[in-house]
Structure 1
């Protein structure tokens, strides 16, 4: 595929890919964002709505990013977003939920900085550019590209703290890009899917995550429930909790506060199977909402958007139940 005449918008948001060691102190600090290498004939425009390490990125930043992408999309054949890896998967999923455009949007970053001999930033950036400019990428929603693998925003997750191939997620990549010289070879293993859009004008809700563990008796639950409009619990296994949590969840649901049950395991759906107190079946009977296959931090973003749109408890239950994301 020839790239000549195509238009690429690159949005830099910070992260390791745009960091250097600080000569005056410990650690990495943000520096100039990298240019896209090796795209003859492509018109590239650069944008930087903010420059942050990814632990500093909030849903409000994600909403700003979504609005920028919507403005750029009509005049771009593809859009690349560079991002720190710690919360890249959350930004990708937020954009998956909030963007209406069919213009390809690719997110990438790097695990190593520019002064390391094995810096992975330029290769990931070039891969992302090629995928973003390929016609087969249209209509797929935002994708993540890392180390040549392409991931769906709904299932991608960071699986290693320091390895170059840090991203994965069950059931695995949905595509692969390999380059030989100036030629890119792109293959998708899945077809594009229709997806609803959840795009509030502002984020007007608060959602907190609680993490289940052996022996948890509900410590922290009531405080979180009092602060938040909705809760997500990273539960055990297929969606189970200690017995002490059952009345707490029932009280929240009875008051109209959504409580979404995700899993703390690496992958898999929430299945309300067990009927003991705190088992998944009893939690659902008490009003809890299964998160389907979403992990806790992605379930939080979906719940945040639904609440910000003014959805009530039963509407939220319907969205999660139907897997409409």
Structure 2
């Protein structure tokens, strides 16, 4: 842990910020050997008067290398912070939404936590890292950020960890997710202007002692006859299927789901919207639910996977898991 202090403002004592670096594009530069971008240097925080900064770097990884175990390390670090008013996590964008949601489900702290990163690296003239990092720090220290759980900020837009998703592979405004941002931070002449469009909502918290369950994701497509299902079901403790539309599958999947005693969660591959088990044809959502499948509500497949992984790691039964997903309170 490193610590630096900016001059305190005359109006009060310094605010205290924990800055946690984990790698990603925001810390990346072209490799000297010409092998492509790699995480190399944690980005500096633009000067914020009156802010004392604690810096932590538990690991430095590209986000495709992040695992639930790394997320758990972050959860432990954030949960153990003392004497801070807010925390910022810099993270690669590919799995940022998964880390944010994992923390949303498991992090018990009153300290506002904001995740951010960048889409462009430090040697590009349009590097978006410094602006996102400044926004995240100001947002984490803002009093209206209390009680909201982990947040994500990119390009001034503030997102809830439950619904945020990466919607573009390369654009600077790469994050979205229905129904959209829950707030906005802009830099005005008198400092940051923070506006939230929704109030804080309750969230249940889970505390798995270890993440020892295995959950796999399968992706539905036209003409799928269940290829890969039997192998995944055999080696996993639970499955999530990114299904079609409101949660429908080809008819060949229905007997496969009927035959398992493991939890099978039905999400949707569609960009937005809930799973609604309304269709009664073979493989339709209503028949899948009668066969024992569990609708994922509005969670996408990779977030449903994290919730199922946590519940299985806690030793929850299939009826208990069904009740959690049915409640829709994530």
Interval containing the TM-score (normalised by the shorter chain): over 0.9
2:89 pairs with 69, 81, 87, which one?
81
Partner deviation per Cα, 1:17-73 (whole Å, 9 max, x = no partner)? 00111121221111110111021111001000110000000001001100000001x
The alpha carbon displacement at 1:204 in A equals: 1.3
SS of 2:259's equivalent in the other structure is helix
Map 1:64-213 → 2, pairs under 5 A: 64-72=73-81, 74-181=82-189, 183-213=191-221
Secondary structure in 2 matching 1:116: coil
Kept after mapping to 2: 8 A contact 1:110/1:121? yes
Number of residue pairs the alignment of both structures matches:
321
Distance 1:300 1:185 in 2: 36
Q: In the superposition, relative to structure 1, how do residues 127 and 315 fare at CA in structure 2: closer, same or farther (>3 Å)?
A: same
RMSD, aligned α-carbons: 1.2
Q: Residue 22 of structure 2 corresponds to which residue in structure 1?
A: 13
Q: Which residue of 1 aligns with 2:307?
A: 302
For residues 113 and 182 of structure 1, do their structure 2 counterparts lie closer, same or farther at Cα, with a shift above 3 Å needed? farther
Cα deviation digits, residues 138-174 of structure 1 (max 9, x gap): 1100000000000000000000000000000000000
| CA apart distance, 1:3 | 8.0
Following TM superposition, where does structure 1 have runs of at least 4 consecutive aligned residues deviating by more than 2 angstroms? 1-4
Structure 1 residue aligned with 2:236? 228
Partner of 1:282: 287
In structure 2, distance between residues paired with 1:180 and 1:3: 21
Inter-partner Cα distance in structure 2 for 1:160 and 1:101: 31
Deviation at 1:182, TM superposition (A): 6.2
Q: Scaled by the length of structure 1, what TM-score is found?
A: 0.97
Q: CA–CA distance in 2 between the matches of 1:153 and 1:30?
A: 24
Question: What SS does structure 2 have at the residue aligned with 1:66?
Answer: helix
User: Which stretches in structure 2 are left out of the alignment for 5+ residues?
Assistant: 1-8
Alignment of 1:246-261 (within 5 A): 246-252=254-260, 255=261, 257-261=262-266
SS in 1 for 2:239: strand
Partners in 2 of 1:3 and 1:110 — Cα distance?
A: 32
Give the unaligned 5+ runs of structure 1: none
Give 1:80 deviation, angstroms.
Answer: 0.1
Q: TM-score, normalised by structure 2?
A: 0.96
CA contact (8 A) 1:54 1:88 kept: yes
Match of 1:46 in 2: 55
